[in-house]
Structure 1
Amino acid sequence: MKKSLLGAGFILLAVYILFRDTLLLPDFGISLWTLLFVLGFGYGAVQNALRRNYTSAYVCGVIALIILERHYGWLNVGTGTLVLAAVLAGIGLGMIFKPLLLQNRSFGFQFNNHREDILGDDFVGYKGNDTIFGNTTRYINDEDLTKVTGNLVFSGSSIYFANATILGDKAFYSGDAVFSNVKLYVPKDWNVEFAGDKVFSSIKTYPSPNPSGKTLVITGDYVFSNLEVFYI
């Protein structure tokens, strides 16, 4: 039902774009491309909120508001000031709603420039880590791997699965990326499938040179981001 409503919304948007001049529909004093960017990030905010990816929803919503503010000039402040205020507000919200984030198994955003995580048997079957404004290198060493999570915002991440073993036939790497770069290093005998959504993003996955029946499935929303898979 949710996808049907969103699909109907996109159809109405297409009708508006085609016939707004003919039917004298209001243009809201905003250019078509700016409107599309706002709607795109607004859609990302709603979709992530429905999925309980609250941090990604917040980032998409903030970007949409920044675009609108730059066009209409409601606050009459610079973009840098808006971004700083959004980051501070995000930190404050994270502190207030920390119990809720922990309940949803989110391990919080990291703001340092570089971090290395070695994730092994201490987090059996489930791996999670989020990063904003930073670069991370992660080593997944789980012998019974089922799921790895991690959202990225204005960040870069290299994740090594060389010493991991998939439990069953499939494991999942789930996480949203906004203005970020993701590099996955996987064993040569793993298949890799991308099952997420992308908006103005580049997704580079390749067939396994020596398939063994093990598959890493990549899910999540990629917005202005890059994903590349390397076999090692």
Structure 2
Amino acid sequence: MKKKNVFWGLLFILGALAVLVSKLGVFEGVGFWSVLFSIGLIGILINGIIHRSWGTILFSTAFLAIVNSRLLGIEKLVPWPVLGAALLGTIGLNMLFPSRHHHGHYVYNGGIGGEVGEVEYHEEVSNDGSEQVNCGVSFHSSVKYIQCTQLKSLNLDSSFGGLTVYLNNAVLKGHEAFVNVDVSFGNMELYIPAGWRVICNVSSSFGSVQEHGRCRGEEADMLTINGEVSFGTLDIYYI
């Protein structure tokens, strides 16, 4: 049994108990839909804490406050003050505490019109010759062409930005590689050879993950995609 299924199963069981208890008048003013939405938001909040996704943490907390504003007595603070605070808090925390996946250095790039943004691209070579690539954008957009000849892992992060990555010229070490994606209030596009076998294990919270084209899977190369999308989009194109 998967740990994720256990987690959500227990959460919904607790939600069922909360619905029954609320009908006894213990939680006055809390309805069925409020409990249902709160269950989902609590699950997203915990998932955000586990993955240290500031946008997921703050916005799920904000929506929890909105759904339960009457119970908390904060009607005057919802919805826009709470959402505005979540947005500003997410921006600040992403600047102070970048994604934990990255170990490279950030390079400032002034975009069109001189807007502020950050783009990271860093390659590491391990003792066995395998290559790891860390690539991320924050308040910016970037296109990267991965041309590693011994690619083993690829860490991608898009926070309030757009990242496009082409893998059609990459060579996988031992015919297998892993991609870790983290999309928060941004979008990411992956262009992958259609002949590779692709396993997508990406979860989404208020976001979407879509595959375009057909993955034939006729070659020996296998790519496993893990990670999370929160308040953003991940598009996978097979070329």
TM over 0.5: yes
Change (3 A) 1:12 1:191: same
The equivalent position to 1:137 in structure 2, one of 143, 154, 162, is 143
Change (3 A) 1:27 1:174: farther
TM-score (norm: length of structure 1): 0.72
RMSD over aligned Cα, in angstroms?
3.7
TM-score (norm: length of structure 2): 0.70
The equivalent position to 1:84 in structure 2, one of 82, 88, 101, is 88
Q: CA separation in 2, counterparts of 1:86 and 1:183?
A: 22
Change (3 A) 1:145 1:229: same
Percent same amino acid at aligned positions? Answer: 21
Q: Is the 8 A contact 2:11 2:39 kept in 1?
A: no
1:42 aligns with 2:48: no
Residue in 1 that maps onto 2:161:
155
Instruction: Give per-residue Cα distances to partners, 1:38-71, cap 9 Å, x unaligned.
Output: 31431222331xxxxx3x2x22222133335554
Q: Is the 8 A contact 1:109 1:131 kept in 2?
A: no
164-173 or 198-207, which moves further after superposition?
A: 198-207
Q: Aligned-pair distance for 1:143?
A: 0.5
The equivalent position to 1:10 in structure 2, one of 9, 12, 23, is 12
Q: Aligned-pair distance for 1:147?
A: 0.7
Q: CA separation in 1, counterparts of 2:43 and 2:215?
A: 33
SS at match of 1:41: helix
Change (3 A) 1:80 1:24: closer
Q: CA separation in 1, counterparts of 2:144 and 2:28?
A: 47
Change (3 A) 1:14 1:146: farther
Q: Aligned-pair distance for 1:93?
A: 4.5
Q: Aligned-pair distance for 1:159?
A: 0.6
More strand by share: 2
Change (3 A) 1:182 1:91: closer
Q: Is the 8 A contact 1:141 1:161 kept in 2?
A: yes
Q: Is the 8 A contact 2:121 2:133 kept in 1?
A: no
What is the 5 A alignment of 1:33-182? Answer: 35-36=38-39, 38-48=41-51, 54=52, 56=53, 58-68=54-64, 71=69, 72=74, 78=81, 79-93=83-97, 105-107=102-104, 125-182=131-188
164-173 or 184-193, which moves further after superposition?
A: 184-193
Q: Aligned-pair distance for 1:149?
A: 0.5
Change (3 A) 1:213 1:178: same
Change (3 A) 1:110 1:80: farther
State the one-letter code of the partner of 1:135.
Answer: S
Gaps of 5+ in 1: 49-53
State the one-letter code of the partner of 1:222.
Answer: V
Residue in 1 that maps onto 2:205:
199
Q: Aligned-pair distance for 1:208?
A: 2.7
Q: Is the 8 A contact 1:117 1:138 kept in 2?
A: no
Q: Aligned-pair distance for 1:220?
A: 0.6
Q: Is the 8 A contact 2:146 2:167 kept in 1?
A: yes
SS at match of 2:23: coil
1:219 aligns with 2:226: yes
Q: Is the 8 A contact 1:186 1:229 kept in 2?
A: yes
Q: CA separation in 1, counterparts of 2:165 and 2:97?
A: 28
